[in-house]
Structure 1
Amino acid sequence: MTYRRGRGSVSGHRRGQRAVSRARVRLAGREVALWQLRRAPGVYRAVIEQAKVTDGCAWCLCSDPAPRLVIRHRAGVYYLACWPSGGEEHARGCEFHNTGGQWSGRNQYQDGALQETDDGSASVALSLPLHVRTTNSAPAGTTPSPRAAGAARSRMGLLGLLHYLWERADLTRSPSPDSTRSSQRGWARCSPLVRAATTGVTSAGVPLSWCCYVIPPFDPAHPDQHDAAFTRFTDRLVERNGMTHRGLVLGAVRSWTPTRYGQRCELRHHRAPVFFSTTLHERIRRGAPSTMTDQRPAGSEQVMLALVSRSDQGNLSAVGAAVMLTNADFIPADSTHEVVMADALTAAKRTFIKPLRYDGAAAVLPDFVLTDTDPETMVEVWGMLDREDYTARKQAKISHYRSTDTPLIEWDVRDRLPDLRLHPGS
């Protein structure tokens, strides 16, 4: 294992911690501490609604001029999020600062696959349609024709959409360095953020907030509170005027159970399962072996986005699906070793983002980017060193980092984890 110290200032780690706790935003001319807004959103509801009407956004006071923040509303609650592609406008150390535009697989698409506007809305062209003619419906589990290597994609797959929603919900960022392991970012915190991220996104003119059911957190005190919303969602999955209407289900996987015809997928916080054909389930396992392995680290999660139809018996059947591996904080990972690294970085109270590949398996991206150093430090997890193509790719990455004088932390998974703490003066 190798640890190359970064050049330049590293005191930004402490500055970043103060920025998180002291971050302030402006809403309709009024300054508010971000932590107060998050702790008691109902108190500031009126001023947020006024800001949405008067300015159409909030303003982060981390720098001058103040960067815009998106105001999102979902299930009666307002959220602030980084403006699309505006993360680099925020001061280093601000929790809205990110280089997601640089460290992201979203740039692989052709124009039209993903279109974002200045008001924070977006449209995506999905590779699997939400509506199909009943007489020409493709068999469940079919996928688009293979794409030529290196060619830009004209449409977004389900994994790309899942990654886009995760970025849009700002869940590729590590939890606050001030947080403790007792306050893990579980599904109860992630679900509302992902649901809010669907607001303003459309596909083929259909609002994602309407056709995508994000599993809400279960409340034992009110076990039936989401039944009506789920029934409304499934009632839309019908055949009308010769068209079969599909929907999207997004949630954390609890278990996979073999059935006579394939697999039964149970989702956390939810009663109704999603059924997979043997063919589709095997295709997912082959395409994402690290995600679908039974040997996942303790506390890791599988997040699934499934395109579903409703059977005659009222069951949900998957037409296509993408499954993403995460750690307990729902930070995405491309392998089980990356789950271990994400946990270790969080335990070391490092501030980082996880670059997402979207649909581009060949996208050359670092495994993690530490944002508490100046310049950012790349983190690479080397886990498949028995493969010649992987070793060649590793050497190309290392050569690039050296030629650009980019700080780098490496972990050969055959060895122990390196020291991940940020040392003063390093």
Structure 2
Amino acid sequence: MTNQRGRPPATRQRRGPPVRRRQIAGTQVRIAGKDIALSQLRRAPGAHRALIEQAKVVDGCGWCLCSDPAPRLVIRHRGGIYYLACWPDGGQQHARDCEFYNTGGQWSGRSQYQAGALQENDDGGASVALSLPLQVRTTTPATATASSRDAGTARSRMGLLGLLHYLWERADLTRSTPSSPAEPGRRGWARCSPLVQAATVGVTSAGLPLAWSCYVVPPFDPAHPEQHRAAFARFTDRLGERNGVVQRGLMMGAVRSWTPTRYGQRCDLRHHRVPIFFSAAQYERIRRSAPSAMTDQRPADSEQVVIALVSRSERGNLSAVGAAVMLTNADFVPADSTHEVVMADALTAANRAFIKPLRYDGDTASLPDFVLTDTEPATVVEVWGMLDREEYAARKQAKLSHYRGTDTPLIEWDVRTPLPDLGRRCR
């Protein structure tokens, strides 16, 4: 029994094709019966478009050849280009050295939400209930933008930082692996942007497709400087009031600079010429909510990623209604502090494979700072940076007790001391 797309019913667990064990370099995938290196597919996705379209119609998915049976891969489409991504909650079905491996919900802040805040379905789609709506009726009184959570209860809605973290996980950008000859160098915005764009596909909020309402700044191509102008014009044209409904939009990009203005701050994004304007009050809220990301003492090669809910002013400018900023290292691996940026860079330099657990909108989630995935069992990495605070010291002791009780391998760094040896592998 199949549906119209040739897939078995969603309630049936699909078994992947058998995998012949062989020595291969990097992750390999199977698309419509053909085996391809993932690095090759990412370098030239357009060259394999017909094959992926065939797989989407016949199988409804791709297959990863890292283990037997082969785990399914989601096929996503954005801007005429197809991408492969880890199947929801399927990260632990992959081999540890596979680029699609992740720890799923084991180390994630998504558990803090009530069921309706984030709902994922079996075909790779999802719906999120945002605390700041994408549409507002002009007859509806203004609502507070405070957290939709009472003390001791799970959040019923997702904030902008939670959405940013969710898309980062969905795009498999919380994971870092040693660079290969096929994909040398650092992972810049040119690599990240298409993956985040693809991650918006299949996600909705209040019935609105995120791929339609979220503009992820694409990488600038000097050879074709105007190629993205039409897409951005379509995005901005959708903003504004029609029939008593104000349409807002989401913009995401890497921050190039913040510049004071008469009324607040101007945020310029890398690869993009149109700024976002923040009121002084909005900018101060960002600084309070993300002090590590907004500090002037952050490492020179670190990055800020912003997601902003924007509206269009009477003058046609983009004005921020709300925003969240995420600190990352130069590879766009997220970090919760400037010390974590240093550790992420050190792990990368040591050729370690690791994952950064994300807290979403939570502020008390007891998550490790990093998780090394090239050991069995996985090794957690903790960066101790605020030991002069009583609450922080108590949380440290609780974590250490948990790791001892579960026999979890641990690497620690007290930031007052030199970095530990990160080259050894715990076995």
- Measure how far apart 1:20 and its partner are: 7.8
The answer to which of 177-186 and 75-84 deviates more is 177-186
1:98 aligned onto 2:76: no
Q: State the aligned residue count.
A: 406
Is this contact kept in 1: 2:131–2:147, CA < 8 A?
Answer: no
Residue matched to 1:176: 178
Tell which deviates more after alignment, 283-292 or 39-48. Answer: 39-48
Which residue of 1 is the match for residue 78 of structure 2? Answer: 74
Q: Taking structure 1 as reference, are residues 181 and 294 closer, same or farther at Cα in structure 2, changes over 3 Å only?
A: farther
Partner residue of 1:27 out of 28, 31, 39: 31
Task: Identify which of 284, 287, 300 aligns with 2:286.
Answer: 284
**What code does the residue aligned with 1:176 have?**
P
Q: How many Å apart are 1:181 and its aligned residue?
A: 10
Shift of 1:35: 2.9
Partner of 2:354: 352
How far the C-alpha of 1:30 sits from its partner, in A, is: 2.2
Moved more, 231-240 or 172-181: 172-181
Structure-2 residue corresponding to 1:41: 45
Q: Normalising to structure 2: TM-score of the pair?
A: 0.92
Per-residue deviation, 1:133:
1.6
- The verdict on how the C-alpha distance between 1:181 and 1:295 changes in structure 2, with shifts beyond 3 A counting, is farther
Cα gap change, 1:186/1:44 in structure 2, threshold over 3 Å: closer, same or farther? same
CA distance in 1 between partners of 2:44 and 2:359 (Å): 35
Aligned-partner Cα distance in 2 for 1:291–1:213? 22
Q: Which runs of 5+ in 2 are unaligned?
A: 1-21
* Counterpart contact for 1:21–1:35, Cα < 8 Å: no
TM-score, normalised to structure 1, is: 0.92
Residues 312 and 164 of structure 1: is their aligned pair in 2 closer, same or farther, counting only changes over 3 Å? same
1:276-315 residue pairs with structure 2 within 5 A?
Answer: 276-315=278-317
Verify the 8 A CA contact 1:158 1:321 in the aligned structure 2. yes
What is the aligned partner in structure 1 of residue 132 from structure 2? Answer: 128
Secondary structure at the residue paired with 2:165?
Answer: helix
Match of 1:316 among 315, 318, 336: 318
State the 1:95 CA deviation: 1.6
Q: Distance in 1 between matches of 2:333 and 2:153?
A: 29
2: CA distance between counterparts of 1:255 and 1:23?
Answer: 37
Give runs of ≥4 in structure 1 deviating > 4 Å.
179-182
Q: CA 1:353–1:273 in 2, change beyond 3 Å: closer, same or farther?
A: same
Q: Secondary structure at the match of 2:221?
A: coil
- Single out whichever of 200-209 and 414-423 deviates more from structure 2: 414-423
Shift of 1:108: 1.1
Segment drifting more, 144-153 vs 89-98: 144-153
CA distance in 1, matches of 2:206, 2:346: 41
Q: What is the distance in 2 between the residues matched to 1:187 and 1:62? A: 27
> CA–CA distance in 1 between the matches of 2:326 and 2:298?
12
C-alpha contact 2:304 2:325 (8 A) present in aligned 1: yes
Matches of 1:20 and 1:413, distance apart in 2: 39
Superposed displacement of residue 334, structure 1: 0.2
CA drift at 1:148? 2.4
In structure 2, the partner of 1:52 is: 56
User: Hey, what's the Cα distance between the residues in 2 that align with 1:218 and 1:354?
Assistant: 28
Distance in 2 of aligned mates of 1:20 and 1:327: 30
**C-alpha displacement at 1:238, in angstroms?**
1.4
How far apart are residue 180 of structure 1 and its match? 10
**Letter in structure 1 aligned against 2:142:** A
Q: Which one-letter code corresponds to 1:288 in the other structure? A: A
Partner of 1:338: 340
For residue 21 of structure 1, give the secondary structure of its aligned residue in structure 2.
coil
Structure 2 equivalent of residue 14 of structure 1: none
Structure 1 distance, partners of 2:390, 2:183, is 38
Aligned to 2:265: 263
SS in 2 for 1:294: coil
Moved more, 367-376 or 250-259: 250-259
Larger deviation, residues 285-294 vs 179-188: 179-188
Q: Please give the root-mean-square deviation of Cα atoms over the aligned residues, in Å.
A: 1.8
Per the alignment, residue 116 of structure 1 pairs with 120
The amino acid across from 1:398 in the alignment is: L
| TM-aligned CA deviation for residue 224 of structure 1 | 1.5
> Shift in Å at residue 146 of structure 1?
5.9
- Alpha-carbon separation, structure 2, partners of 1:182 and 1:296: 26
Q: How far apart, CA to CA, are the structure 1 residues paired with 2:270 and 2:46?
A: 28
How far off its partner does 1:40 sit? Answer: 3.1
Please give the per-residue CA displacement for 1:68-109, whole angstroms capped at 9, x wherever unaligned.
001111122211110011001112222211103211111111
Aligned to 2:88: 84
Contact 1:128 1:144 in 2 (8 A): no
Structure 1 residues 137 and 212, CA, compared in 2 at 3 Å: closer, same or farther? farther
User: Which residue in the other structure is 2:201 paired with?
Assistant: 199
Quick one: structure 1 residues 411 and 20, their matched pair in 2 at CA, closer, same or farther if it must change by over 3 Å?
farther
The match for 2:15 is none
Q: Distance in 1 between matches of 2:386 and 2:211?
A: 39
Can you give the 5+ residue segments of structure 1 that lack an aligned partner in the other structure? 1-17
Amino acid at match of 2:358: L
Counterpart of 1:362 in structure 2 is: 364
Aligned counterpart, 2:18: none
- Sequence identity percentage: 77
Match of 2:4 in 1: none
SS for the counterpart of 1:72 is strand
Q: Which has the higher contact order (CA 8 A, sep 6+)?
A: 1
Structure 1 residues 355 and 246: CA distance shift in structure 2, 3 A = same
Contact 1:262 1:281 in 2 (8 A): yes
Shift of 1:234: 0.6
> Which of these residues, 321, 327, 330, is aligned with residue 329 of structure 2?
327
d(CA) in 2 for partners of 1:145 and 1:22? 42
Q: CA 1:19/1:196 → structure 2, altered by over 3 Å: closer, same or farther?
A: farther
Which among 126, 151, 154 is matched to residue 152 of structure 1? 154
Report if aligned partners of 1:108, 1:152 keep a CA contact under 8 Å in 2.
Answer: yes
The residue aligned with 2:232 is: 230
